[in-house]
Amino acid sequence: MRIKVNLNQLRHRCEQSIEDILRTEIADKGGHVAACPSYYGYLDRGSPILFVAHLDWVPVPWRFAVDSQRTRVYCPRLDDRLGVYTILDVLPSLGIECDVLLTTDEEIGQSTAQYFSLPRKYHWIVEFDRRGEDVVTYNLDSPDWLDSLRSHGFRIGQGSFSDICYLDADCCCCNIGIGYHHEHSSQCYVELSEYRRQLARFVRFYSANRTTPYDQEPMTVVEEPSKSYWSNWNREGMRYTSERCRVCDDWLLVSEQDVCWSCLSTSKESS
């Protein structure tokens, strides 16, 4: 399958204001836009599947450039306007139109997804806001969900946090890597070959699972909002498991297994 990338439309999505996207793609199509105090937009198409992306970006100098081979696109707003472009343009061109949630304030660790109440139980939820070519679930999963992702060629990675972690969902969720790299910097780019491979995998996954509900496997969690999110982000309301890190004995997040990210990072730096 050849995934077509319209570079002019991608640039347009990167240039659009948050307000313009919410007006033209959500409000004008009968969706709901809320300011709480920052924005989110929700478009209900009656689908059993929800797509998620965030509209905000880290404020670094603007540029949009394509390399001479047309294999890379450079733009600091690809995180996550590439996800927005995927949901609003690429997937509909392939006949895939699901419900849409577009958030803001994800990049400051306070995603407006926290103010959104799911209107019904979804079969599953997918976000397109991930570097590289893997998929992460933040433990919002089940063995069957993970097996199905792997069977369609996805590599399961580990991530820290994104919008879907705020959703009070009983269904399985994942965040799919869409090929961008060096996010949060002026050197951010998307490797178009990676993007196309991931989208082709997703299309196959969707075709096989669009009518299949996946429920999360229950997990016992505790709240410990005092633990910081990276060094300076507010992590209040994130979910912790009842397990502790085997190295430092701190609580483990739902996205961590056996060893916390702090200890993993220290281990990598010393090796």
pLDDT at 244: 73
Cβ-Cβ contacts under 8 Å for 197 (sequence gap 6 or more): 133, 179
pLDDT at 44: 98
DSSP 37: S
Q: Quick one: how far is CA 203 from the chain centroid?
A: 16
**Using CA atoms, how far apart are residues 125 and 169, in angstroms rounded to an integer?**
9
pLDDT at 258: 75
pLDDT at 224: 45
pLDDT at 77: 98
**Using CA atoms, how far apart are residues 129 and 79, in angstroms rounded to an integer?**
7
In this structure, what token pair is assigned to residue 45?
């198409």
Does this model's pTM top 0.95? My answer is no
Q: How many residues does the chain have?
A: 271
pLDDT at 236: 37
**Series of mean pLDDT values for 10-residue runs along the chain (271 residues):** 92 98 98 92 98 96 95 97 98 97 95 96 98 96 97 94 95 98 96 97 98 85 42 40 72 69 62 47
In this structure, what token pair is assigned to residue 104?
């803001």
pLDDT at 240: 55
pLDDT at 234: 33
pLDDT at 187: 94
